[in-house]
């Protein structure tokens, strides 16, 4: 069985875009497209609508084959020490999704793919996604097709955004990538753009990618394919 490799980058903004761009060039050299996890708002009053350079870069990357994935609205903790969508009821989750969707449309980055901050979504958030127009949900332990109601189980191996970045964890991430690829599973690597500015985490991600490729994992992005109508179907 041949495995798959999905590499995602989050936390992309004016201060971290260069780190993401340098990493993207290294992925291009390996033939690995990226899934870019984009949020309309981030910490320190960051607003995507006020950052045309990042908008342009993400759009350019998408035109080259990268995927754009909505990664929350403002990533604010809705309860103490909880990720934005980890405990929301359905109504509040829908409001946040619709607000984020409007910004993504305004910036030319609209997507039907969603990965919640820290990869955690409440039952209410999951229930709200289809009515807000989303078709794919990527969580910590699985990738869900919301229309077909199917899932592919695979755990995220990450650095930053809730994951550790110490040397021992970086080594474990590389080993986990190789082990999953060798078994023909889906290797899901995730890193924040900020961590890509640090040599240790950046090298760990490169090593994890290279090891997955060594074991013949096929590079992919998060994607959703619509149903193909059956010719002559009633």
The DSSP line for 89-117 is -HHHHHHHHHHHHHHHHHTT---SEE--G
As a whole number of angstroms, the distance between CA 206 and CA 215 comes to 14
Could you tell me the domains of the chain? 4-220 (3.20.20.370)
For residue range 8-55, list pLDDT tens digits in order: 999 999 999 999 999 999 999 999 999 999 999 998 899 999 999 999
User: What φ, ψ does residue 73 adopt, rounded to 5°?
Assistant: -100, -65
Band of the pLDDT at 2, cuts 50, 70, 90? confident
pTM of structure: 0.94
Tokens 């899934």 correspond to 35
* 196-202 mean pLDDT: 97
Residue 80's pLDDT is 58
Nearest to 201 by CA among 168, 159, 229: 159
As a whole number of angstroms, the distance between CA 23 and CA 196 comes to 7
For residue range 112-125, list pLDDT tens digits in order: 999 999 999 999 99
Nearest to 7 by CA among 181, 200, 199, 135: 181
Contacts of 179 (CB under 8 A, 6+ apart): none
Per-residue DSSP letter, 132: T
Band of the pLDDT at 230, cuts 50, 70, 90? low
The pair of three-digit structure tokens given for residue 233, joined into one six-digit string: 């179907």
Helix axis angle, 17-30 to 52-63, nearest 10°: 10
The pair of three-digit structure tokens given for residue 84, joined into one six-digit string: 């934005």
Residue 231's pLDDT is 57
* 203-215 mean pLDDT: 98
Tokens 């930053």 correspond to 160
**Helix intervals (H) in the chain:** 17-30, 52-63, 90-106, 123-131, 167-182, 199-214
| 162 torsion bin: left (phi>0), alpha (psi -120 to 50), beta (else) | left
For residue range 90-143, list pLDDT tens digits in order: 999 999 999 999 999 999 999 999 999 999 999 999 999 999 999 999 999 999
Residue 234's pLDDT is 42
Is the CB of residue 10 less than 8 Å from the CB of residue 34?
A: no
Nearest to 4 by CA among 224, 227, 209: 209
Regarding beta strands 150-153 and 142-145, do their DSSP bridges make them parallel or antiparallel, or are they unpaired? Answer: antiparallel
């Amino acid at each position: 069985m041949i495995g798959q490799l999905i590499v995602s980058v989050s936390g992309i903004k004016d201060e971290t875009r260069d780190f993401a761009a340098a990493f993207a060039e290294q992925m291009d050299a390996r033939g690995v497209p990226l899934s870019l996890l984009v949020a309309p708002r981030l910490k320190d009053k960051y607003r995507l609508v006020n950052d045309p350079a990042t908008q342009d870069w993400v759009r350019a990357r998408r035109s080259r084959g990268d995927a754009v994935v909505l990664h929350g609205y403002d990533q604010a903790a809705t309860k103490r020490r909880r990720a934005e969508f980890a405990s929301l009821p359905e109504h509040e989750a829908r409001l946040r999704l619709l607000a984020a969707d409007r910004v993504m449309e305004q910036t030319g980055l609209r997507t039907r793919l969603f990965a919640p901050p820290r990869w955690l979504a409440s039952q209410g958030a999951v229930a709200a996604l289809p009515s807000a127009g989303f078709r794919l949900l990527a969580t910590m332990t699985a990738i869900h097709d919301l229309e077909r109601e199917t899932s592919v189980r695979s755990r995220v191996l990450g650095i930053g955004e809730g994951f550790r970045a110490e040397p021992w964890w970086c080594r474990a991430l590389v080993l986990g990538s190789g082990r999953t690829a060798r078994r023909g599973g889906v290797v899901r690597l995730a890193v924040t753009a900020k961590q890509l500015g640090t040599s240790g985490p950046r090298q760990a991600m490169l090593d994890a990618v290279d090891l997955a490729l060594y074991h013949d994992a096929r590079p992919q992005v998060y994607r959703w394919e619509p149903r193909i109508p059956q010719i002559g179907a009633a």
